[in-house]
Amino acid sequence: NATAFVIFSNRHELRGVDLQTFNVKALISSLKNTIALDFYHTEQSNMIFWTDVIDDKIYRGTLIGQSLSNIEVVVQTGLATAEGLAVDWIGENLYWVESNLDQIEVARLNGSFRRTLIAGEMESPRAIALDPRLGFLFWTDWDANAPRIERCSMSGQFRRTVVRVDQVTDGAWPNGLTLDYVLKRIYWIDARLVTCTNTVLLLRRDGRGSYE
């Protein structure tokens, strides 16, 4: 009897939208500049992870009813604009993109065993998405000369470019990124294009397919 809902950030609040009633409720307020977030569900609890690029910290809280509690800092040092965040719900790891450091890091859900997974050959990495079942990690890069979506294994191996964004659209700023696990497609939003209907793009995860 669970209710489906969407959680999003407007930078200063995390909000939840009930997909049956479309009621919107603030889960937490007074945030400074929250860019990225992800959700972790278990039989025992539901947790939300989020980054704040002014505090340069990663937080998590437990969702109880329609509010967040047990809020704590997971990663509090060494961050420089963590703009992308994704939870591996199988391996119970947390991945994030360091846009200013041009690298991707990983740690356990409590922030322990932190390490740099991928570094170098990035210009402006932004969004990140995972498929833990197949062991893939995807991220976007606003590289002025080669805006793209890349893929590697979740251990950082077998890195490759999946799509050059400027070769399939007029866009160059691939930002939001998500995966369709059933149809095996990638969806992303390009911040450079004008309307959202022209920027939802579909590709198979091997880089082949179509776009709309």
The string of pLDDT tens digits covering residues 90-100 is 999 999 999 99
Average pLDDT over every residue of 106-117: 98
Question: pTM of the full predicted structure?
Answer: 0.90
Q: Is the pLDDT of residue 26 over 70?
A: yes
pLDDT the model gives residue 70: 94
Beta strand spans in 19-154 (E): 24-28, 34-41, 46-52, 57-64, 67-75, 82-88, 93-98, 103-108, 115-119, 125-131, 136-141, 148-153
Average pLDDT over every residue of 5-29: 93
Which of 51-60, 81-90, 170-179 is least confident?
170-179
pLDDT in tens, 174-197: 888 999 888 888 888 888 875 443
